Amino acid sequence: DGIILTKLSTANGTITVDAGGPITATDVQTSTNNDITLTTIGGDINGVGIIFTGSGNVKIDSAGSVIDDGDSGTVISANNLEIKTAVDGTVKVDTSITSANIDTKDADIDETDDIILAKIDVTTLDLESGGSVTDSGSDGDGSRSVSAPQSAKVVAANNVVLNDSENELGKLDITAGEKVIIRENDAVSGIVKAKSLQVQGTTGITLEDGTTVSSFAAKSDSGDIDLDNTGGLAINSFSS
C-alpha cells in the first residue's frame, strides 16, 4: 500500500522502501554515507523534502512521477541521484548532488552547486544550477549523456559544458555566467546567453534573436551556421 515517511532515519545502514502505492517522502536520512532506495509499484513519489545520504547515493523508481514539496529549502543531498519514472512521468526536485541519472518525460531540477549530467533521457529538460553544468562525455559506445529532443533549458551561475558528441538537445535556451560549450549529434538551434560560446552540430547551427555572446566559435559538419547576436562579437578559432 501507500506510505508516508514523515521521519525515517538510520545512524548506520542503508534505507530501502518498497511500496505498492504512493510514497510521501517528507524526511529520509542516513548519517553514515549509505544509500537510500525508494520504489513504488503503483503511484507517485511526492512531497519529496529532505533526503540525505552525505556522500551516498539515492535511487528513486516511481510508477508515476517524482514531485518535491515545493520548498526550495529542502533538498535531496547525495553523491549520485538516479530517478526513473513512468514513460509519461515528471520529475521536479531540488538537489545538492554531484551527478544525476534521470529517465522520465519532463525533468525540472534545481541544483544548489555544480552538477554532472551522467545520463539524462527526457523529452524536456529544465535545469538551474548554482555552479556549473557538465555532461559525463562520450564513452564511445554510441550512448548519449543528454537526450532532450524537444527542449533543453539550462541556467548556470558559471559554465555549461555539454560536449558529448551524441547529445540531442532540442530547442536550446541556455544562460551561463561564463562560458557555454555545446555539441550535438544533430542541428543546433535556439538561444544562448554567455560571455563565450563554442558550438558544434552535425547538420547546421542556428542561434536565434536573443542570443548574447561576446566570443564565438562554431563548427558544422554539414549545413549552414546562422547567428543573430546582440552586441559586439569576437570570432575565434574552434578548439577541438
pLDDT string in tens for the chain (240-residue length): 999 999 999 988 999 999 999 999 999 999 878 999 999 999 999 999 999 998 999 999 999 999 999 999 999 999 999 999 999 999 999 999 999 999 999 999 999 999 999 999 999 999 999 999 999 875 555 567 999 999 999 999 999 999 999 999 999 999 999 999 999 999 999 999 999 999 999 999 999 999 999 999 999 999 999 999 999 999 998 876
Dist CA 46 CA 193 (whole Å): 34
Grid-cell match 524537444, residue found? 150
Neighbours of 141 (CB within 10 A): 6
Neighbours of 240 (CB within 10 A): 6
